[in-house]
Chain A
Amino acid sequence: MTPSADHGLDVAAIKRDFPLLSRSCHDNPIVYLDSAATSQKPRVVLDSMTEYYETINANVHRGAYQIADLASRKMEAARANLADFIGAPDTREVVFTRNATESVNLVAFTWGRANLHDGDAIVLTELEHHANIVPWQMLAAERDIELRWIPVDAEGHLDLTDLERLLDGAKLLAFSAMSNVLGTLTPVRFLSDAAHAAGATVLVDASQYVPHLPTDVAALGCDFLVFTGHKMCGPTGVGVLWARAELLEAMPPFNGGGAMILKVTKEGFTTNEIPWKFEAGTPAIAEIIGLGAAVDYLRDIGMDAVRAHEVSLTAYALRTLTERHGDRITIHGPSEPASRGGVLSFEFGDIHPHDVSQVLDQKGVCVRAGHHCAKPLMAIMGVNATSRASLYLYNDESDVDQLSAALDDAADMFAI
């Protein structure tokens, strides 16, 4: 198969890089459309982890022997690789966590407790995933902190009419760069600048952004950026917190234990340098190395090409589903492909999303059904649940066609 002319991705070749995509589900070839939940993993990522365990498995930062040194270097090389991938000026600014959720909790627990006090305000948006809501609610429950919400409009864009008033006196603006429900891309630079002008610090949840768009923290202008490895072709169990070095230096530590200390006596301890100050205990060494391999894989393909492919495929999906299913399908979120990612939340007639996904599953089509960990947004949309198909670099027009055809089965079954 020749690469499509419009974006230059050879999707047929990319599909072959992902072992799982060659399997069947219920006797049909798998059509994997749930990458917003977790992506599949290319062979090079799986091999890098196996190679680590088979050739250099040793704990990091402690042994003087050869393989311990190799393991430490490999892990720190992955850190440098991640820093380069997101445009971080300093490798020490990349902290490894378990996932994006832990990254937000780390900031809430350390920076939040040191900097937010009774009477302060945090600004969130109605687009947020629970991971960027609940840690702040937990902090707000401990202290007299006000949570303010930037609303969403009917198309799923942020309504910035009252932004100045919402930011007035706020200490933190925490928001998603791309909605995991609607695919909405938010104006990260604009919001960062507005927050800074109001004296607020900025945290960006980039869990759905880093896997799909070229990322440059300097251009985004934020202070904290959180994302997870498993949505960007990496393994589960490793996430990233990026923050400007001076912020990390000033923050109290998170978990206490080995690796995060310089010195411990019976009287107390002194903390290690950043980033290790925030990495107590043995890290997910194999997974960090695997994430480094995922970054290599994505960089080789090119994030500009990934984004161009997804814009084109999203446009195709919006067009195909609407043309074939007409009024019986409602696709939420921005109508303009350039202002959104490839996350398509939809309602299909009055068929419950559980039932939609059950019928699609019989054809091997994997979509998510539920509230997508964004219940406040679902309440605003006036729904309890949606079906969600999400696209990635290994999806092509035939995947969209399979989804569209399988929806006919659901229509037949439920007579809509």
Chain B
Amino acid sequence: MPGLEDLYREIILDHYRNPRNRGELETPPAHRAEGFNPLCGDEVVVYVDVDDDGVIQDIRIGGQGCSISQSSASMMSAAVKGKTVEEARALTRAFKAMMSIHENELGGDPDEPVEIPEGVTLGDLEALRGVVKFPVRIKCATLSWNTLSSGLDAVSV
């Protein structure tokens, strides 16, 4: 049985208590995207500013939610800032691969290594790996990433 220490790692609580890149950006030039978790009422707002070279110059996070959704958003913002849109998309795929083990393969081994796309490092985000042992919370962890994806889709069009 997974214990709470698998879920509430210290680094997660740190990002929850001291969220990075919290706030808003002027739109335009930044783009604003909203995400909701209709089950629990959590909401996240992602402001993303992408320059002409496709580099994420700045990102800000708004909204409110639980420790998992907020820390995931905070770590995400730190991880994608300064990256290209393509790098951010690769990181998103890697993060969702890490989150999807149990979502897609019920009964799978949570300790099984995740296939991370080559050249992508999850860094601090690895701390969220324990979330897959609490399937109800996977949607909390992925909310900001799905919101970022829709924001980047709008920018890239």
State in angstroms the CA–CA spacing of A378 and B41 once bound together.
10
Least distance between A348 CB and chain B CB atoms (Å):
13
Residue in chain B with minimal CB distance to A384 = B41
A371-B40, A384-B43 known; A354-B13 Cβ under 8 A: no
Contacts of B140 in A (CB 8 A): 354
State which of B1, B3, B39, B66 has its C-beta within 8 Å of the C-beta of A355. B66
Q: Decide if B137 touches A413 in the complex (CB within 8 Å).
A: no
Number of interface residues of A (CB under 8 A): 18
Least distance between A356 CB and chain B CB atoms (Å):
9
State in angstroms the CA–CA spacing of A46 and B128 once bound together.
41
In the complex, A370 has a CB within 8 A of chain B: yes
B120-157 contacts to A (CB < 8 Å):
134, 137, 140
In the complex, A43 has a CB within 8 A of chain B: no
Contacts of B1 in A (CB 8 A): 26-27
Number of interface residues of B (CB under 8 A): 20
Least distance between A28 CB and chain B CB atoms (Å):
11
Contacts of B3 in A (CB 8 A): 362
State in angstroms the CA–CA spacing of A369 and B7 once bound together.
18
Contacts of A27 in B (CB 8 A): 1
State in angstroms the CA–CA spacing of A11 and B65 once bound together.
38
The 23 sampled A-B contact pairs (Cβ below 8 Å) are A352-B65, A352-B66, A352-B67, A354-B40, A354-B65, A354-B66, A354-B68, A354-B137, A354-B140, A355-B8, A355-B68, A358-B134, A359-B4, A362-B3, A362-B4, A369-B40, A371-B40, A378-B41, A384-B43, A385-B40, A413-B4, A413-B8, A414-B13
17 more CB-based (< 8 A) A-B contacts, given A352-B67, A359-B4, A384-B42 = A353-B66, A354-B140, A355-B8, A355-B66, A362-B4, A370-B39, A371-B40, A371-B41, A375-B41, A384-B41, A384-B43, A384-B64, A384-B65, A385-B40, A385-B42, A413-B4, A413-B8
